């Protein structure tokens, strides 16, 4: 079966998370993606843990490799005129150009939209600046760790007595920003297929990240209310949270285990009580409705924890699910990769043989299409792995031209 | 010239519950004709707060406003045979159906993917659920917290001594919605190419997995478990200029000494100008500050014991820096700091986001008139800006069944009297 994006050519000038993940998704559904890097400007993720066991170097980072499957790797030194000429060839070749480099870098390298469209007027060019290409904060620096605080996720998440510490990751980098970009690119591709016209996509990461928090913003605009983080609780559910279960032993040390669930209606409350064996405390009027339970939530959570502590998180989940209560283990990566039979049955994680990192796991495509399921066709490229192939087979350079480019350190 | 749209030739029947409604919002805001199908008593999502002026009414939900921009609304009871007959007539005119029922539910109504293809051979059915259409947990019940738990996100958030933290704002539903919209777009591109529709299967758990950052690869490659590390993150001690700091009016997040940014000495100069550097220009602090960079941090993360006696000095610098921050406004630290290439990020409250000068300068926030409220309602702006086929607010959110006549009578050609009879029977 022909993939949806077969024949579509992508010049991926991005780095870190938000750009490469989007381009990886394009590759998974059939596009030819050339990932542009430089030894003079290595993707920071190539130097970040984890690394394949007992291996070192730029090609064995699990962080980098996870976002670059299915791509061809090309190194170009954009600090040389020759390197820029090769970049221009690639831009002329592509249907889709994507980058999340900063405005400063794009101006220096002459990779602004105007530059790119001049070379390729039909291009779909997607840019992911942190703040956007105009406005007083245009040149502000940022990356995922700062984006979470700036965009409100840190203030609104976590327990109210704690500092706004965020989610423990560079959260908007992984689905919010690459996913929004993918939607925009596919919309632009449809438009181009219909009209022949390319277009300019500007996804300011701050705007893309704030957009999903709209209800809190509208609450302020309409009601003047400044919402505040409230741990794992919700105004319209009770109980709602993560409850501690029986500890595991891992590496000869205790490991805390948790089950997460929420009760949104009376039917689920009865299911929870049934699962807990209808304890006497639950008969008290102060637990009779969600509104009443919201008034006594600390006490309620303590009662529930007495029950969850007696069993494993997996048993608690299975029992609650059997009683109609939506519940799930707070899974860690070991659970998801090794123990979760559901993910295994669906084949979500994909193992690929990488020439240096060995056989390692990748997240599979983010959605399953029944007739054109995406596939991660190849592992992430080594730095510069496909220089010769891309130059000769894609850009049509002669052997002499490639040699000259190598000597001039343009392919570097 | 009217706004162009990338999806103006696409009609979507929107049966999505909370887990999928961000998907249909994204598609509607790009210009698709999205018809929201509400049960005759009204959509349960209309009961989700917050509410306009805190008035708890089904035509006042701000959350619902946000999620149903650019929609038309019809009421239709799929549990009734006559309702299903009308739905089938709508399917014949549609390109996409988005649904979030328990897997198999629509099959039970003879409205599953195979049934729909007999009505409209190139139909795209997008199903967004907690665990996807297949596998041993396909019939597990879900809510947002179940997704972020099972998807590996919660285990990474929070202090070690607290329960794992749930991200704010139904992020499980948001991620599932983004992937649902992207999967639908991908299927549309394939249909345009080949004339062939298909079934798009989105699992919230899978949609969330990649948010684990490096946790999955860390286990796979090194058999180490990444877990929640709280406010300090991966760095074992308090490092001056890194982390969350209290200000006079809130908090900032700082990450000084990063590559591309100004060195710590620039920070010290600023503190000195403000008269709040205390003794940091004296030795031994001056020399230590000059070396506070990413290389130092990396070494520290790997071999904290090598810090030795410098821990006390670092702690002193940290305290002075924290005292400096406490006297400053979060906006001053953010904006003046960034102008000096010092990596500060304001910890934005919703109020800060609404007042953010960058978003204001770019006219990000929008407003739409609601005739039934006699007022303009403020909206969040676009996640992306497309030059030729832009995101746009074209139509205010609908009232329940507002477009029954338009859709049933004017477009499907049902006699008005029949529609009235169906209304009397509770079908529409």
Which chain B residues touch A172 with a CB distance below 8 Å?
none
Name residues 166-205 of chain B within 8 A of A (Cβ): 166-169, 171, 174-175, 178-183, 185-190, 192-194, 196, 198-203, 205
Model pTM greater than 0.95?
yes
Whether the predicted pLDDT of A360 surpasses 90: yes
Dihedral Cα A113, A116, A117, A121, nearest 10 deg: -150
Dump pLDDT digits (tens) for B253-309. Answer: 999 987 778 999 999 999 999 999 999 999 899 988 988 887 777 777 777 777 777
Please write the tens of the pLDDT for every residue from A139-149: 999 887 899 99
pLDDT digits (tens, 9 = 90+) for B123-145: 999 999 999 999 999 999 999 99
pLDDT band at B2 (very low <50, low <70, confident <90, very high): low
- Minimal Cα distance from B148: which residue of A? A330
Closest Cα in chain A to B388: A199
Residues 307-336 of B with CB under 8 A from A: 335
B98 touches chain A (CB under 8 A): no
Domains of chain B, start order:
11-212+364-424 (3.40.50.10540), 235-354 (3.30.1540)
CATH of domain A9-212+346-407: 3.40.50.10540
CA B248 – CA B252 distance, rounded (Å): 10
Interface A:B, Cβ pairs < 8 A? 511
Digit-coded pLDDT (tens) for A43-53 = 999 999 999 99
Distance from CA of B302 to the nearest CA of A (A): 11
Q: Which of B158, B206, B231 sits opposite A366 (nearest CB)?
A: B206
pLDDT digits (tens, 9 = 90+) for B317-346: 999 999 999 999 999 999 999 999 999 999
Per-residue pLDDT reduced to its tens digit, B20-67: 999 999 999 999 999 999 998 889 999 999 999 999 999 999 999 999
| Spatial contact of A174 and B179, defined as CB atoms under 8 Å apart | no
The arithmetic mean of pLDDT across residues A320-325, rounded, is: 98
Task: Name the closest residue on chain B to residue A339, using Cα atoms.
Answer: B150
A234 vs B236: which has the higher pLDDT: A234
Q: What is the pLDDT of residues B213-224, one digit of tens each?
A: 999 999 999 999
- Give the H or E element holding residue B122: none
Q: Output the pLDDT for position A281.
A: 97
Tell me what the mean pLDDT of segment A166-176 comes to: 97
| A166 CB-near residues (< 8 Å, 6+ apart) | A145, A148, A149, A153, A154, A157, A158, B157, B253
Predicted local confidence at residue B308, as pLDDT: 75
Judged against a pLDDT cut of 60, whether residue B157 lies above it is answered with yes
Q: What is the pLDDT of residue B293?
A: 81
Which residues of chain A does B346 touch, with a Cβ-Cβ cutoff of 8 Å? 149-150
Share of chain B above pLDDT 90, in %: 87
State the average pLDDT over residues B190-208: 98
Q: Kindly indicate the confidence band of residue A114, based on its pLDDT and cuts at 50, 70 and 90.
A: very high
Average pLDDT over residues A294-323: 98
Q: How confident is the model at residue A85 (pLDDT cuts 50, 70, 90)?
A: very high
Collapsing DSSP to helix, strand or coil, B284 comes out as coil
- Cβ–Cβ below 8 Å for B159 and A165: yes
Asked if the C-beta of B105 comes within 8 angstroms of chain A's C-beta atoms, the answer is no
Q: Which chain B residues touch A214 with a CB distance below 8 Å? A: 66, 379-380
Enumerate the domain spans of chain A.
Answer: 9-212+346-407, 240-339
| Chain B residue with the nearest C-alpha to that of A60 | B221
- Asked whether the beta carbons of residue B378 and residue A187 sit closer than 8 angstroms, the reply is no
Question: Active-site residue numbers of A?
Answer: 173
Q: How far away is chain A from the Cα of B413, in angstroms, using its nearest Cα?
A: 30
The string over A251-261, giving b where at least 16 C-beta atoms fall within 10 Å of a residue's C-beta and e elsewhere, is: eeeeebbbbbb
Which among A151, A157, A213 has the least Cβ separation from residue B157?
A157
Q: Which tens digits make up the pLDDT trace of A20-29?
A: 999 999 999 9
CB within 8 Å: A141 and B156: no
The ipTM, to two decimals, is 0.98
Please give the Cα distance from B60 to A222 (Å, whole number): 11
Residue of B nearest to A170 (CA): B213
**Could you tell me if B143 lies within 8 Å of chain A, comparing CB atoms?**
yes
pLDDT at position B295 is 78
Q: Please give the Cα distance from A21 to A42 (Å, whole number).
A: 17
Task: Look up residue A34 and give its two tokens.
Answer: 């050339």
Mean pLDDT over A184-204 rounds to 97
Question: B30: which residues sit within 8 A by CB, 6+ positions away?
Answer: A183, A187, B5, B6, B7, B386, B389, B391
B368 contact A CB<8A: no
Q: What is the pLDDT of residue A143?
A: 80
The pLDDT of residue B41 is 82
CATH topology of domain A240-339: formyl-coa transferase, domain 3 (3.30.1540)
């Amino acid at each position: 079966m022909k993939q949806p994006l077969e024949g579509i050519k992508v010049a991926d000038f991005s780095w870190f998370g938000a750009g490469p993940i989007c381009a990886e998704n394009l590759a998974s559904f059939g596009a030819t993606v050339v990932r542009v890097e430089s030894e003079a400007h290595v993707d920071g993720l190539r130097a970040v843990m984890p690394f394949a066991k007992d291996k070192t170097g730029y090609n064995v980072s699990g962080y980098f490799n996870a976002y670059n499957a299915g791509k061809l790797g090309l190194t170009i030194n954009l600090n040389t005129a020759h390197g820029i000429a090769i970049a221009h060839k690639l831009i002329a070749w592509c249907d889709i150009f994507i980058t999340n480099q900063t405005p400063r870098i794009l101006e220096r390298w002459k990779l602004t939209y105007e530059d790119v469209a001049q070379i390729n007027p039909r291009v779909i060019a997607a840019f992911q600046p942190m703040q956007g290409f105009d406005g007083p904060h245009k040149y502000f620096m940022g990356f995922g760790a700062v984006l979470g605080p700036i965009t409100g996720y840190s203030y609104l998440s976590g327990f109210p007595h704690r500092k706004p510490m965020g989610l423990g990751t560079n959260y908007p980098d992984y689905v919010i920003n690459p996913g929004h970009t993918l939607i925009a690119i596919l919309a632009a591709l449809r438009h181009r297929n219909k009209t022949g016209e390319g277009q300019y996509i500007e996804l300011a990461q701050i705007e893309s990240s704030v957009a999903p928090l709209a209800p809190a913003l509208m609450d302020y605009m309409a009601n003047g209310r400044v919402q505040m983080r409230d741990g794992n609780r919700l105004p319209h559910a009770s109980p709602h949270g993560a409850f501690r279960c029986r500890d595991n032993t891992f590496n000869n040390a205790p490991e805390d285990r948790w089950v997460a669930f929420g009760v949104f209606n009376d039917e689920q409350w009865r299911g929870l009580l049934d699962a807990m064996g209808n304890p006497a405390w639950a008969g008290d009027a102060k637990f009779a409705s969600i509104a009443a339970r919201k008034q006594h939530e600390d006490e309620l959570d303590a009662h529930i924890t007495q029950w969850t502590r007696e069993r494993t998180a997996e048993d608690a989940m299975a029992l609650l699910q059997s009683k109609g209560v939506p519940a799930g283990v707070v899974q860690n990566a070991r659970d998801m990769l090794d123990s979760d039979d559901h993910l295994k049955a669906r084949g979500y994680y994909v193992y690929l043989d990488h020439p240096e990192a060995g056989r390692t796991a990748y997240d599979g495509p983010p959605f399953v299409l029944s007739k054109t399921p995406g596939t991660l066709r190849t592992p992430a490229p080594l730095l510069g792995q496909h220089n010769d192939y891309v130059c000769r087979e894609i850009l049509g350079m002669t052997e002499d031209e490639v040699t000259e480019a190598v000597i001039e350190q343009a392919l570097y | 010239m009217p706004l162009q749209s990338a999806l103006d030739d696409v009609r979507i029947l929107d049966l999505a519950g909370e887990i999928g409604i961000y998907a249909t919002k994204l598609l509607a805001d790009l210009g698709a004709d999205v018809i929201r199908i509400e049960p005759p008593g009204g959509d349960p999502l209309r009961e989700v707060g917050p509410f306009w002026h805190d008035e708890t009414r089904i035509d006042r939900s701000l959350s619902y406003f946000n999620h149903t921009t650019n929609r038309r609304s019809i009421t239709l009871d799929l549990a009734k045979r006559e309702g299903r007959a009308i739905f089938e007539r709508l399917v014949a005119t549609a390109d996409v159906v988005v649904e979030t029922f328990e897997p198999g539910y629509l099959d039970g109504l003879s409205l599953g993917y195979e049934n729909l293809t007999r009505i409209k051979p190139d139909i795209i059915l997008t199903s967004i659920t907690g665990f996807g259409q297949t596998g041993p947990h396909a019939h597990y019940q879900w809510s947002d917290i179940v997704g972020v738990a099972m998807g590996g996100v919660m285990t990474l958030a929070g202090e070690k001594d607290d329960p794992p933290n749930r991200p704010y704002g139904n992020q499980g539903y948001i991620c599932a919605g983004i992937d649902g919209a992207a999967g639908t777009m991908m299927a549309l591109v394939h249909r345009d190419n080949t004339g062939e529709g298909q079934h798009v299967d989105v699992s919230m758990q899978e949609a969330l997995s990649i948010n684990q950052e490096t946790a999955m690869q860390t286990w796979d490659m090194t058999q180490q478990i990444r877990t929640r590390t709280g406010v300090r993150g991966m760095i074992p001690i308090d490092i001056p200029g890194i982390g969350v700091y209290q200000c006079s009016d809130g908090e900032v997040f700082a990450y000084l000494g990063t590559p591309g940014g100004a060195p710590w000495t620039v920070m010290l100069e600023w503190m000195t100008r403000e008269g709040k550097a205390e003794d940091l220009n004296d030795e031994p602090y001056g020399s230590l500050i000059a070396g506070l960079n990413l290389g130092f941090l990396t070494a520290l993360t790997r071999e904290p014991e090598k810090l030795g006696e410098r821990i006390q000095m670092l702690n002193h610098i940290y305290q002075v820096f924290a005292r400096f921050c406490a006297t400053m406004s979060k906006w001053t630290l953010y904006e003046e700091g960034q102008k000096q290439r010092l990596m500060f990020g304001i910890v934005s409250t919703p109020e800060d986001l609404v007042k953010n000068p960058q978003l204001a300068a770019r006219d990000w926030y929008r407003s739409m008139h609601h005739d039934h409220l006699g007022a303009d309602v403020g909206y969040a702006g676009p996640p992306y800006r497309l030059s030729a086929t832009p995101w746009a607010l074209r139509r205010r959110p609908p009232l329940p069944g507002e477009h029954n006549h338009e859709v049933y009578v004017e477009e499907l050609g049902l006699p008005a009297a029949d529609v009235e009879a169906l209304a009397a029977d509770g079908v529409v």
